[in-house]
């Protein structure tokens, strides 16, 4: 942070290094806040009534003070003095009730608003496609739901309770002052514009700082969420340099600190200005007022009341400048929340979408629906289609903004009902991308993907989810019990059904040996289980869901041969009678497949059974022989993993 050349002066020119000018608030933001606020109109009405009572009482106290002095003390009327003093005490008590009411209802409005926005943003984010999550930083997203929404609420509720009381107090105080002595009032008013000019400059700067502060808070949060989850922590332990990590963190934290200091200084500066002007004006009123009292044209009680009112006048004037920055903070925060809510999910359910007909979705008896790709081409969506620059760590590059290259080209195949179709090919060939189009994690750019003869885009998302079960290589488990993780696929599954699924997935012996059995908590990302156990648990989850179509990315993790065998057996059960698309890494799976598709460079280069493809002497046989020779050389069993086996290895 640099504060001019001399840190003791020129704070208005305070600059935080590395602070980019944030985008301005989009027009129309204010209008969009109204419906959210209107849900709480009754509570807001109560806040307003309480605020009016509070302001009336606040202004009436100096006037009562004037009467105590001028009509009680000076003429020596004890009864008037006691009566009015009692009135002041009564008013103070009433004020307590008013302030309490105001606090209670404004709390309800504020927390209600946080609840509404949080649930809306959470639901909206859930509807975003996978592509959104591949680009977005988790920390930024979490901070949008936490910091920004809370910021929006705080600014709005303080606006709600302050703006009315500020304006009301200002009008009432001015009316009372004009009534008591118009020349002194006019003199005091002349000073007011002196507040607004610096106030406005400072408020503008505060707005920029507020937005930059939120952005940098999010970056700091992102760094922590990335480093503190188990995979991130492992990576740091194995490859990271603690000093560099700390330096990077302190750079980010330093920027957050500098912005916060700058905001504090600006806010304080505003306060200092107001205090200075209040003191100067008070001195002026005492000067002129005292002179008028000596002169006999002003009563002493009036002078005391004028000074008390004057102190009340500059408080609201000060708050007026705060209101401006509150408005800006609220607008910035709401704008950042609306920005997320405005992001249209790329994959949505078509109006009139239908569930997959029951016959087509049947399973287990050989009537599972077939899957068909018809001249499918695909390119990954561009950054601007799926994400927001402000939610990404790096600014979106120009090259990311246009449409990218085709990753799949003219892919057509028929995966027969209840049969196993294996996808093989070099790394980056497009195998995973093909499987992602079946459950609509992405939509084809052109061409059609069909299930049981129905375009997947014509099906309801719910029925698609029930029809297609996916097991990924890195089977994710929530930080919860094994039971909760299994029930996630089918919440109504009974205990015997859970056990049966675990037995079929060959994971029951492991679970039953754990002291807490199914109630064992699996760590962050299910880390306390081995890779093979995790995949078998994921297969058990799939079996509980029992979908007629299975998409499986075989684990390539370094499994011992026992785990491999267990997984092979689990898979045999899982795939029987289901239409399966398997990204094959193990030769045994490939040999058993009803159909093998050899993918290279986003196209199907060859297709057939293992024997046919070997006999064909094409890419498959070349890949197979290279791999087979390699494994023989390493003394590994033929059905072991094929990953990491040269440039053109089966992956």
Of the pair 129, 547, the CB lying nearest ligand ATP is at: 129
Applying CB under 6 A, which of residues 427, 446, 512, 612 lies at the interface with ligand ATP? 427
CB of residue 434 to ligand ATP, shortest distance in Å: 7
CA geometry: angle 30, 34, 37, nearest 5 deg: 125
Closer to ligand ATP by CB, 99 or 406: give it: 406
User: Distances in Å between the alpha carbon of 423 and those of 430, 448, 516?
Assistant: 10, 19, 39
Nearest to 570 by CA among 482, 501, 520, 641: 501
Q: Can residue 429 be called a binding residue for ligand ATP (CB under 6 A)? A: yes
**What minimum distance in Å lies between the beta carbon of 343 and ligand ATP?**
17
Closest approach, Cβ 378 to ligand ATP, in A, equals 9
Phi, psi of 595 (to 5 degrees): -150, 135
Distance separating alpha carbons of residues 470 and 495, to the nearest angstrom: 23
133 is a site residue for ligand ATP (CB under 6 A): no
DSSP state of 551: E
Smallest separation, CB 580 to ligand ATP (Å): 16
554 binds ligand ATP (CB under 6 A): no
CB of 524 to ligand ATP, least distance (A): 24
The label of the residue with tokens 């195998």 reads 431
Contact between 431 and ligand ATP by CB under 6 A: the answer reads yes
DSSP 8-state symbol, 337: H
**Total residues interacting with ligand ATP, rule: CB under 6 A:** 12
Q: Which residue's CB is nearer to ligand ATP, number 60 or number 432? A: 432
Closest approach, Cβ 627 to ligand ATP, in A, equals 14
Per-residue HEC secondary structure of 282-300 comes to: HHHHHHHHHHHHHHCCCCH
User: Can residue 169 be called a binding residue for ligand ATP (CB under 6 A)?
Assistant: no
DSSP letters for 169-202: HHHHHHHHHHHH-HHHHHHHHHTTHHHHHHHHHH
Residue pointed to by tokens 């994959």: 347
Q: Which of 380, 488, 527, 628 binds ligand ATP (CB under 6 A)?
A: 380
Binding part of the chain for ligand ATP, among 116-124, 244-252, 258-266, 429-437 by CB under 6 A, reads 429-437
Residue 129 DSSP SS3 = coil
Q: Which stretch binds ligand ATP (CB under 6 A): 50-58, 212-220, 430-438, 508-516?
A: 430-438
430 binds ligand ATP (CB under 6 A): yes
Closest C-alpha among 367, 441, 412 to residue 134: 441
User: Which lies closer to ligand ATP via its Cβ, residue 139 or residue 425?
Assistant: 425
Q: Taking phi first (over 0 means left), then psi (-120 to 50 degrees means alpha), and beta for anything else, what does residue 488 get?
A: alpha
Rounded (5°) CA angle 376-379-381 = 130
User: What is the three-class DSSP state of 602?
Assistant: coil
Least separation in angstroms between residue 255's CB and ligand ATP is: 30
CB 290, CB 299: distance < 8 Å:
no
Alpha carbon 507 to chain centroid, angstroms: 35
Using CB under 6 A as the binding rule, whether residue 396 contacts ligand ATP is answered as no
Which residue number, 166 or 627, has a Cβ lying nearer to ligand ATP? Answer: 627
500 with 556: CB under 8 angstroms? no
Residue (368 or 429) nearer to ligand ATP, CB: 429
Contact present, 541 and 476 (Cβ < 8 Å): no
Min CB(316)–ligand ATP separation in Å: 54
Give CA–CA dist 348/351, Å, rounded: 9
Nearer to ligand ATP, 202 or 423 (CB): 423
C-beta of 144: minimal distance to ligand ATP in Å?
Answer: 22
The four Cα atoms 354, 360, 362, 368 give a dihedral, to 10 degrees, of -130
Q: Which two tokens stand for residue 490?
A: 């089918």
Where are the extended beta strands (E) located within 320-439? 371-378, 408-415, 420-424
| Residue 134 within binding range of ligand ATP, rule CB under 6 A | yes
The answer to whether 433 contacts ligand ATP (rule: CB under 6 A) is: yes
**CA–CA dist 347, 128 (Å, integer):** 7
Stretch that binds ligand ATP, among 73-81, 298-306, 337-345, 427-435 (CB under 6 A): 427-435
Q: Considering beta carbons, is residue 18 or 389 the nearer one to ligand ATP?
A: 389
Q: How far is the CB of 402 from ligand ATP (least distance, A)?
A: 13
Nearer CB in complex with ligand ATP: 203/376: 376
CB of 318 or CB of 409, closer to ligand ATP: 409
Residue given tokens 């994400």 in the structure block: 387
428 binds ligand ATP (CB under 6 A): yes
Residues 57, 84, 407, 475: which binds ligand ATP (CB under 6 A)? Answer: 407
Residue 483 or 648 with smaller CB distance to ligand ATP: 648
Task: Tell me how crowded residue 523 is: count the other CB atoms within 10 A of its CB.
Answer: 11
Residue among 138, 432, 445, 576 that touches ligand ATP (CB under 6 A) = 432
Nearer to ligand ATP by C-beta: 544 or 642? Answer: 642
Query: Which residue ranges make up the site for ligand ATP (CB under 6 A)?
Result: 134, 380, 407, 425, 427-433, 651
């Amino acid at each position: 942070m640099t504060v001019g050349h001399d840190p003791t002066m020129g704070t208005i020119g305070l600059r935080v290094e590395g602070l980019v000018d944030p985008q301005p608030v989009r027009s129309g933001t204010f209008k969009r806040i109204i419906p959210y606020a209107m849900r709480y109109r009754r509570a807001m009405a109560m806040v307003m009534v309480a605020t009016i009572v509070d302001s009336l009482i606040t202004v009436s106290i100096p006037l009562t003070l004037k009467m105590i002095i001028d009509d009680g003390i000076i003429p020596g009327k004890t009864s008037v003095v006691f009566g009015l003093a009692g009135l002041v005490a009564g008013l103070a008590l009433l004020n307590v009730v008013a302030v309490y009411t105001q606090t209670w209802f404004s709390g309800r409005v504020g927390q209600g608003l946080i609840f509404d926005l949080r649930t809306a943003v959470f639901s909206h984010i859930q509807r975003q496609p996978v592509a959104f999550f591949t680009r977005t930083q988790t920390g930024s997203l979490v901070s949008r739901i936490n910091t920004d929404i809370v910021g929006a609420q705080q600014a709005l509720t303080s606006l709600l309770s302050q703006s009315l009381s500020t304006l009301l107090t200002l009008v009432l105080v001015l009316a009372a002052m004009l009534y008591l002595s118009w020349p002194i009032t006019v003199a005091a008013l002349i000073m007011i514009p002196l507040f607004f000019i610096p106030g406005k400059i400072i408020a503008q700067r505060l707005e920029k700082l507020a937005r930059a502060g939120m952005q940098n808070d999010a970056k700091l949060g992102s760094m922590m969420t990335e480093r503190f989850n188990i995979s991130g922590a492992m990576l740091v332990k194995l490859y990271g340099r603690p000093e560099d990590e700390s330096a990077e963190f302190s750079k980010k934290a330093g920027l957050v600190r500098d912005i916060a200091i700058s905001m504090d200084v600006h806010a304080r500066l505003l306060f200092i200005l107001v205090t200075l002007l209040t003191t100067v004006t008070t001195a002026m009123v005492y000067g002129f007022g005292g002179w008028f009292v000596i002169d006999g044209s002003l009563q002493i009680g009036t002078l005391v009341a004028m000074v008390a009112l004057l102190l009340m006048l500059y408080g609201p004037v000060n708050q007026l400048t705060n209101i401006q920055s509150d408005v800006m903070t609220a607008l910035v925060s709401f704008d950042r929340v609306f920005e997320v809510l405005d992001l249209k999910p790329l994959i949505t359910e078509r109006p009139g979408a239908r569930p997959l007909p029951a016959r087509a979705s049947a399973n287990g008896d050989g009537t599972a629906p077939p899957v068909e790709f018809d001249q499918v081409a695909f390119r990954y969506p561009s950054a601007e289609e799926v994400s927001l620059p402000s939610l990404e760590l790096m600014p979106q590059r120009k090259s990311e903004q246009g449409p990218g290259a085709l990753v799949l080209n003219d892919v057509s195949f028929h995966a027969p009902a209840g049969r196993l179709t294996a996808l093989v090919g070099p790394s980056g060939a497009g195998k995973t991308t093909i499987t992602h189009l079946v459950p609509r994690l992405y939509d084809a750019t052109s061409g059609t993907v069909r299930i049981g003869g129905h375009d997947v885009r014509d099906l309801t998302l719910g029925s698609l989810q029930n029809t297609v079960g996916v097991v990924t290589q890195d089977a994710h488990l929530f930080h919860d019990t094994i039971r909760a993780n299994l029930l996630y696929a089918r919440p109504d599954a009974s205990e015997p059904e859970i056990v049966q699924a675990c037995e079929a997935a060959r994971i029951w012996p492991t679970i039953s040996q754990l002291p807490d059995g199914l109630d064992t908590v699996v760590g962050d990302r299910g880390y306390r289980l081995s890779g093979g156990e995790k995949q078998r648990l994921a297969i058990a989850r799939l079996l509980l869901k029992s979908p007629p179509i299975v998409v499986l990315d075989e684990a390539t993790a370094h499994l011992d041969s026992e785990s491999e065998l267990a997984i092979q057996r689990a898979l045999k059960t899982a795939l029987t009678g289901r239409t399966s698309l398997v990204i094959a890494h193990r030769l045994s799976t490939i040999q058993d497949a009803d159909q093998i598709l050899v993918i290279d460079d986003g196209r199907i280069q060859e297709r057939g059974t293992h024997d046919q493809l070997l006999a064909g002497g094409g890419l498959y046989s070349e890949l197979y022989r290279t791999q087979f020779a390699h494994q023989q050389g390493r003394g590994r069993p033929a059905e072991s993993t094929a990953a990491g086996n040269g440039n053109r290895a089966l992956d």
